[in-house]
Amino acid sequence: MTEMVSEHDPQALQKAIDIITAGEIAAFPTDTVYGIGASAFNVNAIQKLFSVKGRDENKAIAILLADASQLPQVCVNIPDYAKRLASAFWPGALTLVLPHHPSVPDILSPLPTIGVRIPDHPFAQALIRSCGPLAVTSANISGQPSATNAAEVLRQLDGLLPLVIDGGEARVGIASTVVDCTGLTFKILRPGAIDEKMLQHALVEG
């Protein structure tokens, strides 16, 4: 049975920290949609993410950060334009695909790259600040709609993970924009909350 705890419960953050640091997985709200997360450096915990979602292991799982100071832990060779995009849209609904650090487990990505972002959500940031970078994927069964509230997470995943943090309705409600930053300029891999005009404008302004 999955436990659901309000993010406003004084014990909520510590419960989530304890579960993540014990090598388990937990669902929690972000600014875009709800996610399920595990330590980005714990291969066994990451395998649980794939198993719970029924996710193809050839599909990469992104890493969420608490702030930009954690970026060098997971990425290398970051181009200047990617840094400008990060400065403009983080925290927020933009995932940057960058070359990953050698310490990032191969299971997270079949490629030498990884998606990274900083969620604009205080609970998510606090959890990541305490646990370190987290491998996070949307809290739903693969092929099903992304969950934008805790009730929807439970509808799809009840009994498959120990904890869901209830933070109400996700503010953005759609997944982040995913942008490849490994070339001379960016390439949108998945449209989302931030469109191409907004990205171009940020680079011109930056």
What percent of the chain has pLDDT above 70? Answer: 100
The answer to whether the peptide bond before residue 10 is cis (omega within 30 degrees of 0) is no
Over the stretch 152-181, which tens digit does the pLDDT of each residue have?
Answer: 999 999 999 999 999 999 999 999 999 999
Q: Could you tell me the pTM of the whole model?
A: 0.96
Domain 3-205 listed as CATH 3.40.50.150: no
- Reference 66, options 5, 10, 103, 20; nearest CA is 20
Retrieve residue 105's tokens: 């487990």
Give the pairing of strands 177-180 and 94-99.
parallel
- State mean pLDDT over 13-22: 98
Domain boundaries, the chain: 3-205
Report the Cα 83 to chain-centroid distance in Å: 18
- Reference 180, options 204, 201, 199, 197; nearest CA is 199
Give the per-residue pLDDT at 206. Answer: 59
Q: Is the pLDDT of residue 11 over 80?
A: yes
Over the stretch 76-122, which tens digit does the pLDDT of each residue have?
Answer: 999 999 999 999 999 999 999 999 999 999 999 999 999 999 999 99
